Amino acid sequence: MRLLRIFPDDSKFRFVRWRVLSFPFSAAISVATIVLFLTVGLNYGIDFTGGTLMELQSKSGKADLASVRETAQSFETGEVEVQEFGQGGQVSLRFRIQPGGEPAQSALVTRARAAFEKDYEIRRVETVGPRVSGELVQSGTLGVVLSIVSVLGYLWFRFELQLAIGAVIGTLHDIVLTVGFFLITRQEFNMTSIAAILTIVGYSLNETVVVFDRTRELLRKYKNLPTDELLDLSINSTMSRTVMTATTTALSLLALVLFGGQAIEGFANVMLFGVIICTYSAIFVSSPMLIYLGVKTSTRAAAEEKAALAAKAANVSRRPA
């Protein structure tokens, strides 16, 4: 039986050479994202802005958007977003935060329920007060920062500072581009998006660590290989695994996009994008970065030292036997 093989064996692609293209490309996109972030901004969901979200399902199977909008506007202060989604008369309403603190949000929900109850099934109501939304912004930001710092610490402990920095640069790159995805698609950015970003952080590091683990191993083996060749060798020899894992992960996320339903589709889309970006950045961003981080000398010295120690330890343990 001939089995499936996506990536050829014994490849000798010169991956790191592509940095002349990948670095400017990534830098340009990152800068564009930051500019967009500062000028246009994310489409924050009610988790972060506060406000009220309602999802209605028309009992007759057809939603009258105009009348829903009119009714909603009649008791609401400010703007209200009304959208139809899915098939068969599903409507989502998003109210801004009402002046008058928490009780005012509650009062709005009461009025909205009463107004729509007759013709629509109320599928979901979420109200987030101004205080909670402020805290969610805080904990979301803290989460992303904290994860990067602790991972940096872990990798420093397990690898080398240079490798850790390379991995974290790759991860930052992935976060920025994921935010870019939110900016371009105008997909709502909420607490689930933070979960997606943290998962992408995990996945991105996972990808990079696999390549760097090989780099570390090869450093011990080939002491005189130039850094770029060494990195190419690392990437090539882990490439079939990278492709495999990216494929299986992408396949399951694809199942989530296609069959997971509207409530989870957003998360799945972001993750799918993230997996592609992470795979790209592990190969074309974090790895070539090592050329500039001066990994060669210090890591080699450390690797040699470790090897010497290991040899010594092996000798010692062998003696009694």
Partner 1 sequence: MLYFSTWKTVAVLALCALGVLFALPNVLPQSVRDAYPSWFPARTVVLGLDLQGGSQLLLEVDGEALRKSRAVALQEDVRRALREARIGTTAITLSGTTVNATLRDPAQLAAALEKLKPLAAPVASSLFGGAGPAEVDVNSRDGNVVTATLSEAGVQARIRSAVDQSLKIVDRRVNELGTVEPSIQRQGADRILLQVPGLQDPQRLKDILGKVAKLEFRLVDLSMPPEQAAASRPPDGSEVLQEDRGGQTVPILIEKRVMVAGEDLTDAQATFSSQDHSPVVSFKFNTKGAREFADATQANVGKPFAIVLDNKVISAPRINEPITGGQGQISGNFTVESANDLAVLLRAGALPAPLTVIEERTVGPGLGQDSISSGTRATWYAAIFVVIFMFATYGVFGLFANIALTIHVVFIFALMSLLGATLTLPGIAGIVLTIGTAVDSNVLIYERIREEFRAGRSMVSSIEAGFRHAFAVIVDSNSTMAIAAIILFLLGSGPVRGFAVVFLLGIVTTVITAVTMTRMMIALWYRRTRPTALPF
- Residues 264, 190 contacting (CB under 8 angstroms): no
User: Could you tell me the smallest distance in angstroms from the CB atom of residue 183 to partner 1?
Assistant: 22
Classify residue 7 by its DSSP letter: S
Query: DSSP state, 282?
Result: I
Task: Give the nearest distance from C-beta 36 to partner 1 in angstroms.
Answer: 25
- Write down the least CB distance from residue 311 to partner 1, Å: 17
Q: How far is the CB of 282 from partner 1 (least distance, A)?
A: 11
Write down the least CB distance from residue 140 to partner 1, Å.
Answer: 7
Residue 68 buriedness (CB in 10 A; 0-12 / 13-18 / 19+): buried
Pairwise CA distance, residues 168 & 170, whole Å: 5
Least Å distance between CB 174 and partner 1? 12
Between CA 321 and CA 308 the distance in angstroms is 21
CB neighbours (10 Å) of residue 152?
Answer: 17
Closest CB to partner 1 among residues 235, 271:
271
Question: ∠ CA(19), CA(23), CA(29), 5° rounding?
Answer: 145
Q: Rank residues 82 and 197 by Cβ distance to partner 1 and give the closer one.
A: 197
Burial 123-148 (b: 16+ CB within 10 A, else e): eeeebbbeeebeebbeebeebeeebb
| Beta carbon nearer to partner 1, 152 or 225 | 152
How near is the Cβ of 104 to partner 1 at its closest, in Å? 11
Q: Which is nearer to partner 1, 27 or 104 (CB)?
A: 104
Closest CB to partner 1 among 263 and 314? 263
Nearest distance, CB of residue 304 and partner 1, angstroms: 18
DSSP 49-73: H-EEEEEEEETTS---HHHHHHHHH
Nearer residue to partner 1 within complex by CB, 71 or 238: 238
- In angstroms, rounded to a whole number, what is the distance separating the alpha carbons of residues 130 and 97? 7
Q: How far is the CB of 244 from partner 1 (least distance, A)?
A: 5
Q: Is the CB of 131 or the CB of 186 nearer to partner 1?
A: 131
The letter for the amino acid at 7 is: F
Which tokens is 190 given? 């909420």
Instruction: Say if CB 43 and CB 186 are below 8 A apart.
Output: yes
Closer residue to partner 1 in complex, CB, 146/301:
146
Q: Which residue lies nearer to partner 1 by CB, 19 or 211?
A: 211
Quick one: 311 exposed, middle or buried, by C-beta within 10 A (0-12, 13-18, 19+)?
exposed
Q: For residue 158, what is the enclosing H or E element?
A: helix 130-158
